[in-house]
Structure 1
C-alpha cells in the first residue's frame, strides 16, 4: 500500500513517441503562426484568422473527438501536450481551444446520437466555435448556486438567465448552458440543474466584453438569455443532472489548465537561462553567479515537478482511474500554476530592470497566470477539494 495509492505501478506517465511527434508539430505551428502575432493580438484583443485556420487545418479544434464524427481521435494526453506547447507561446490561444474542447467533450459524452451527428463534425472542423457558460454573478465556485432557469414548454425549453466571465462568450457559435429545470432541494442543492447545447442564433445576447488582467486576446464576456427557445433534443443527458455533468467537465478541463501553466513555466525558464548566459555584469555572464544559478536550479525543479504531476494526472484520467485522478488533478492545478508564477518571478528578478519591461514578455506571462489560478476551480478551492476527496475516496469519510 502506497497511501493513498494502491501500488507504485499507479505512478506512471503514458507519454509515447506519437505524443512527441505531436509536440513537435504543435511547436512548429506555434512559432510560425502564433509567435509573430502575440503582441498585436494581445493589444487588439483578438486572434489572427490565419492562425485559427491553420489550427483547424491541423485538426486541433477536434483533437479528441472520434474520427467517426470528423475529429482526430487523439487521447487526453494529446490535449495536455498541445496545451503546453501553445501556452509556451500564447496562452490566450490555448484558452480558445480549451473551452472549445470542453463543449465538444460535453456533446460527445452527454449528447444523443442525433445531436452528435449534427454538431460534432462542425465542432471538430473548427467551422463552428464553442463556449461553456456556467458561471453567474452569484455562482462561481458554488456551481449549485446558479439562478438561470429553463422551463419546459411542449417540445422545447425556454431559457432565461445571465452568465458572466464566459470565455468565447461573444464569438462562440454554440454554447453549453446550464440552467435550473426545477427549484433547488434544500437537502441537495445540486439537484434540478440541466445542461443544454444552445446555438447563438437562437437569441443569446452579448451584454459586454470583460477586460481582464491576463489572457487579453481571449474573449471573456457577459451574456444574457431572454426567452431563448431550445429544442428538447438539445438537452444533454438527463434532466436535472447538469450539475454532475458540469463538475465532470471542469474535472476534464482542470489538468489542461495545469498544462497551460507548464507551458508558461517552460517559456519563462527558457528566457531565464538564455538571459543569464548573454547578460554580463562585472565583465562576467551572470550565469557565473551563484544567486542566478540558484534561481535556475529552483526554476528547473518547479518546471519538472509540475510537468510530471500534470502528465501523471493526465495518465490517470486516460486510464479512467477517476478516484485517483480527482485528487491528482487538483494537486496539479494549484501546484503548477503557483510553481509557474515562481519561475516567472525569478526570471523577472534575474532580468533586473529589463524584467519589468513589457518587451521581455514576462509580465504577460505573470498576468496570464492570475487567470489560470482562478478559472476551472480557484486554487483555494482545489486545496480544499483535494483534501476532501482524499478523505472521501480513500478513507470513506465525508468531511467539511
Structure 2
C-alpha cells in the first residue's frame, strides 16, 4: 500500500522536522544527561499541534488521523526518542478517553491533554505482570457515589513531572459469571492517596519520566469511571493497537536517525586511503539499513491508514510494531559498528539510540507477545 501524502501532511511534517532540528536537537543532550524532563519542548510541540494530531477538532485536536500522527512521531524520534515517548504516552490515555469517554470527560480531560494544558499517563503495567492484562491486581471497590482504589502500577511514563495532570488506570472491579471484571478509571494527579514514586532510571528514554504509582484508598467519584464497568479489557486492547502503531513509528524514527548518522560518518571517515563508504563491507550495511527502514515505513503507514479507515488493523499494527522495533535494534547496532570506537562514547548520539531502541522493543508488548498475537489472528 503506497501512500501519497496530502499537501497538508507534508507541510505539517516539515514544521515538525524543523522544530525537532532547531529546538530539540541542540538542547536534548542536556536533558538526557541530567535525566531532566523537557517541559518547554513538550509545551512547544503542543503549541504547534502535535499532541492533538489524531483527535477531533471539536475537542481541540487537528483531526488528522494516525497516518499524520505516525509521521510526527517519526520526525521527533529521528532526533530523540525520549521526547517522542512523552508524546506517545500522552496519546494512550487521550485515545481511551476519545474512544470511550462521555462528552463531559472529553471536554474535561481530553481537551487539556491535546492542547498542552497538561499531559496524561496510562496505568496498566504492574510488578506482577505487564502484557498479562488478566493478572491486574489493582482493585476498585464500589462505594456510595464512587469507587475506592487500592494497588500499584509500575513503569508509568509521564506520571511524575510538572505537566502531568491525569492518569487512566485499569483495575479489577469484581466478578460476573465467574469472570473477573476490569474497568478503566480517570485519576486526577493530586487526588488524596495517589502516591507518585521516584523516577525509574532506564537504559533509554532518559529524558522521559517513568515511575511507580501507588493508590492507597483513593476515592474517585462515579464520573471517573471510563465507559461501562467491566469494559476495561476491551478498551485497553483497542488502545494498545493504536499504541503499537505509535511505537512502530517511534522505532522507525530512531532507525532513520541512526542510519543518517552512519551514512554521514561513512562518507567522511577515512581508512586505508579511502572513505569507508567505498568499502563493500560498509556500503552493504548501509544498503540493508535503507531497505529495512523503507519496508518498516510502508508497514507503519499501512497500519495507520487502516486505523484511519476504521478497518480492523490489529494484525497490521502488531506486525508493524514487531518488524519496526527489531529493525531499529539492528540498524542502531550496525550504525555503531560503522562508527567503530567513537560509537561507544556516551557523548555520541548513536550510543544513546541503542537504549532507546531496546525500550521500544519491549513496551506495548514484547516481540514474543507480538508473534503470539499475530499467530492467533492468523488462526493458529
Using the size of structure 2 for normalisation, the TM-score is 0.96
Give the equivalent residue in structure 2 for 1:330: 318
Unaligned runs of 5+ in 1: 1-10, 392-398
Question: Any conservation in 1 of the 2:81–2:205 contact (CA below 8 Å)?
Answer: yes
- 2:335 and 2:108 map into 1 onto residues whose CA distance is 48
Superposition pairs of residues 112-131 of structure 1, within 5 angstroms? 112-131=102-121
RMSD of aligned alpha carbons: 1.4
- Deviation, 1:317, is 1.2
Superposition pairs of residues 90-101 of structure 1, within 5 angstroms? 90-101=80-91
- 1:83 and 1:185 map into 2 onto residues whose CA distance is 42
- Specify which of 162, 180, 184 is matched with residue 195 of structure 1: 184
Give the equivalent residue in structure 2 for 1:3: none
Secondary structure at the counterpart of residue 151 of structure 1: strand
Question: Any conservation in 2 of the 1:254–1:329 contact (CA below 8 Å)?
Answer: yes
Superposition pairs of residues 150-161 of structure 1, within 5 angstroms? 150-161=140-151
Question: Any conservation in 2 of the 1:14–1:315 contact (CA below 8 Å)?
Answer: no
Give the equivalent residue in structure 1 for 2:293: 303
Secondary structure at the counterpart of residue 50 of structure 2: coil
Question: Any conservation in 1 of the 2:38–2:207 contact (CA below 8 Å)?
Answer: no
Secondary structure at the counterpart of residue 205 of structure 1: strand
> CA separation of 1:381/1:14 partners in 2, compared to 1, >3 Å: closer, same or farther?
farther
Secondary structure at the counterpart of residue 288 of structure 2: helix
Give the equivalent residue in structure 2 for 1:345: 333
Q: Deviations over 1:164-198 (max 9, x none)?
A: 01011213210001111114866x4xx40000111
Asked if residue 75 in structure 1 is aligned to residue 65 in structure 2, the reply is yes
> CA separation of 1:258/1:185 partners in 2, compared to 1, >3 Å: closer, same or farther?
farther
Question: Any conservation in 2 of the 1:37–1:48 contact (CA below 8 Å)?
Answer: no
> CA separation of 1:258/1:353 partners in 2, compared to 1, >3 Å: closer, same or farther?
same
- 1:185 and 1:375 map into 2 onto residues whose CA distance is 32
Give the equivalent residue in structure 2 for 1:278: 268
Question: Any conservation in 2 of the 1:31–1:89 contact (CA below 8 Å)?
Answer: yes
Question: Any conservation in 1 of the 2:2–2:298 contact (CA below 8 Å)?
Answer: no
Question: Any conservation in 1 of the 2:61–2:114 contact (CA below 8 Å)?
Answer: yes
- Specify which of 165, 190, 193 is matched with residue 173 of structure 1: 165
The number of residues matched between the two structures is: 377
Q: Deviations over 1:314-362 (max 9, x none)?
A: 111111221xx21111111111111111111111111121121223311
- Deviation, 1:14, is 5.9
Secondary structure at the counterpart of residue 181 of structure 1: strand
> CA separation of 1:346/1:145 partners in 2, compared to 1, >3 Å: closer, same or farther?
same
- 2:167 and 2:43 map into 1 onto residues whose CA distance is 21
- 1:373 and 1:185 map into 2 onto residues whose CA distance is 37
Question: Any conservation in 2 of the 1:165–1:210 contact (CA below 8 Å)?
Answer: yes
- 1:63 and 1:159 map into 2 onto residues whose CA distance is 32
- Deviation, 1:85, is 0.3
- 1:303 and 1:98 map into 2 onto residues whose CA distance is 20
Superposition pairs of residues 131-150 of structure 1, within 5 angstroms? 131-150=121-140
- Deviation, 1:58, is 0.7
Secondary structure at the counterpart of residue 214 of structure 1: coil
Give the equivalent residue in structure 1 for 2:46: 56
Give the equivalent residue in structure 2 for 1:318: 308
Secondary structure at the counterpart of residue 215 of structure 1: coil
